[in-house]
Amino acid sequence: MKVTLRVWRQAGPDTGGQFKDYPVDVIEEMSFLEVIDVINEDLTAKGEEPIAFEHDCREGICGSCGAMVNGRAHGPGDRSTLCQVHMRQFKDGDLIVVEPWRAEAFPVVKDLVVERASMDRIIQSGGYISVRTGSAPDANAMPIGKPMADQAFDYAACIGCGACVAACPNASASLFTAAKIAHLNALPQGEVEKVQRTKDMVGQMDAEGFGGCTNHGECAAVCPKGIPLTAIARMNRDLVFARVLSGAKDDNAAK
């Protein structure tokens, strides 16, 4: 079948961009990234600049391939990354619009590639636990109930692809930040730094220029790993607790 990809082309972060159309013959079994590969091979043969896009595992693990397809983060499909989208999900003659994530905190580097270092800085601000290094501890040294372990594992499934930010009308990173906070706060190993971690990571999220959450729910709808909105509710609860506890400590110190 034949489709046309209308792709956003932008030479660099300080230049303007525009959409360009690329008609291409495809087969239903091809993945979306394979179609871009075919277009790039043709562009290279013509001596033209290939489309810049991010990818790594092509197995739905890393999320680096993220882009908007027909206005939806990662394209059609439920709980899938762009590399998992196949051409059988489109029809012969379709016009498919492909563009990068749109957010102030995700400046465009080139074409479909955006800079997502802001998310790394959120993790660096508190997405860890301070533990003594050395040999691995005994597995039963700190018993953890299965419900707690399952919940932490579900939050830890976040791959930091940025789809939640791209889908949110406010360009909020609340779902990402909440998942990175919750998977540590849910476990006893993360309890010691829970208050400081929550304050630091939310503070860094705000400093990066992400918008605020207004419960549209678009983030959870496009998340390839199914992180639920309850993660944001948990983050907000932990943040209120952290601020109240910090205020109480400040009052005691003043006395």
Residue-level pLDDT at 255: 47
**Angstrom distance (rounded) from CA 255 to CA 252:** 5
**Angstrom distance (rounded) from CA 226 to CA 217:** 12
CATH of domain 2-109: 3.10.20.30
Return the structure tokens found at 162. Answer: 């940025």
Residue-level pLDDT at 140: 74
Radius of gyration of the chain (CA): 21
Q: Could you tell me the residue ranges of all domains in the chain?
A: 2-109, 116-254
**Angstrom distance (rounded) from CA 138 to CA 215:** 41
Residues 6+ apart with CB under 8 A from 104: 171, 209, 210
113: helix, strand or coil: strand
211: helix, strand or coil: strand
**Residue whose token pair is 């003659």:** 93
75: helix, strand or coil: coil
CB atoms inside a 10 Å sphere around CB 114: 23
Positions of the chain with pLDDT under 70? 133, 139, 248-255
> What homologous superfamily is domain 116-254 in, according to CATH?
Alpha-helical ferredoxin (1.10.1060.10)
DSSP code per residue over 144-204: --HHHHHHHHHHHT----SHHHHHSTT-B-HHHHHHHHHHHHTSGGGSTTHHHHHHHHHHH
- For 151-170, the pLDDT digits (tens) are 999 999 999 999 999 999 99
Is the distance from CB of 94 to CB of 4 less than 8 angstroms? yes
Is the distance from CB of 30 to CB of 20 less than 8 angstroms? no
Residue-level pLDDT at 135: 77
Residue-level pLDDT at 202: 97
207: helix, strand or coil: helix
Residue-level pLDDT at 246: 81
- For 111-128, the pLDDT digits (tens) are 999 999 999 999 999 999
9: helix, strand or coil: strand
In the chain, which residue ranges form alpha helices assigned H by DSSP?
32-45, 117-124, 146-156, 163-167, 174-185, 194-207, 218-222, 230-254
